[in-house]
Amino acid sequence: MKDDLLVRQAGRREMLRDCATFVGGAVLAQLFPGALNAAVRGALRGGAAAFAAQGTAPAADPLASIRAQIGAMPIQTQKLGENLSLLSGPGGNVVVLNGADGKVMVDTFLSPAWPRLKETLDGIGSAPVKTVIDTHWHFDHTENNAPLHAAGATVLAHENTKKRMSEAHDLPVFGLHFEPSPAEALPQETFASSKRLKANGENLALQHFAPAHTDTDIYILFEKANVIHMGDTFFNGIYPYIDSSTGGKISGMIAAADKILGLASADTKIVPGHGPLGNKEDLTKFRAMLVTARDRVQKLKSAGKSWQETVAEKPLADLDAAWGKGMLGSDQFVQVVYLAL
């Protein structure tokens, strides 16, 4: 029994390693369209195998190049309510609640965006940032935790976010390595299931999802404004990335959509981790796509097909026109789903 388990684990490691060659950093290259130059796109798409075939070496630090290019994207501001703003651009979508009690901020962009982020925050209002909430552990949502904490903010997140940020990670589908986050970037306050906050005349409800995009995901409901930030459990109008290396499950993504659909009304503004501001109709369409993808890929995987054979079947090709424009094509998303079943 123990030997069988080791064989299965070794096989999964080999499959994950192969994924890096197939998908490489195409996920990141397409996650922020136009943000990465041709050299970085080529490095990420090809992975180590492509470089070996060409007799060339990969860039010394492709992650630094990704940070620099995506982090340089302009910050766009959209009003969600009287004292609530959506910031988008150099990383996952950010929401800022402004007021005399101090700003409450959900997610923090990539580190190179810090000077422009600070300028944008100062332009929203003079109150300092009092609380930062991380929707999950990924770098494009947490990298400005440290300067915000240094300026006086308390970083709040699910307990798994602190755990994941404290560890080194290899993300096989990206073909990237992440060192542990510095101590000053880690959440200072964590919770296990749920948390409630009151600030600036608003009531905030924070709730942990079962493993979905990762095992660290939470949503934030701004009750009076009728706004919900779903983090990366929702990618509006594009195929999502699901990080199976840190617990992500497509069944959990579907369950997360079900949870929010049960809370939302037709007027609820639903903030995705990536993509434009959404609503209940957008999330309903996203959920339907996830169910279709799960069922089709599961059928092939259950029939004993490898990930390569499953991709070759083109089970999601008919969805590309609607979902393949902003991030992954169906071949790449099949790979992601296969790992996340």
Q: What is the DSSP string of 42-104?
A: HHHHHHHHHHHHHT-PPPS-HHHHHHHHHHTSPPEEEEEETTEEEEEESEEEEEEE-STT-EE
Model pTM score: 0.86
Model pLDDT, residue 173:
64
Of the candidates 244, 339, 326, the one whose C-alpha atom is nearest the C-alpha of residue 27 is 326
Burial of residue 154, with CB atoms counted within 10 A of its CB: 0-12 exposed, 13-18 middle, 19 or more buried: middle
Model pLDDT, residue 61:
76
Q: Tokens in use for 19? A: 């994924």
pLDDT tier at 329, thresholds 50, 70, 90: confident
Please give the backbone phi and psi of residue 184, each rounded to the nearest 5 degrees, phi first. Answer: -70, -15
**Percent of the chain's residues with pLDDT above 90:** 74
Model pLDDT, residue 170:
87
Q: Tokens in use for 217? A: 């995901």
For 60-74, 216-230, 279-293, which range has the lowest pLDDT when averaged over its residues? Answer: 60-74
Mean pLDDT confidence for 290-296: 98
pLDDT at 29 over 60: no
**Whole-angstrom Cα distance, residue 291 to residue 250?**
9
Of the candidates 331, 323, 225, the one whose C-alpha atom is nearest the C-alpha of residue 274 is 323
State pLDDT tens for residues 105-157.
999 999 999 999 999 999 999 999 999 999 999 999 999 999 999 999 999 99
State pLDDT tens for residues 187-205.
999 999 999 999 999 999 9
Calculated CA dihedral for residues 198, 202, 205, 206, nearest 10 degrees: -80
pLDDT at 163 over 90: yes
Model pLDDT, residue 63:
83
Q: Tokens in use for 88? A: 């988008």
Mean pLDDT confidence for 282-299: 98
Q: How far is CA 307 from CA 14, 202, 297, 336, in A?
A: 12, 47, 9, 10
pLDDT tier at 42, thresholds 50, 70, 90: very low
Mean pLDDT confidence for 28-56: 41
Mean pLDDT confidence for 44-66: 50
Mean pLDDT confidence for 223-247: 97
Please give the backbone phi and psi of residue 297, each rounded to the nearest 5 degrees, phi first. Answer: -70, -40
The answer to whether 151 and 127 have CB atoms below 8 angstroms apart is: no
Mean pLDDT confidence for 204-230: 98
Q: Count how many residues are written for the chain.
A: 341
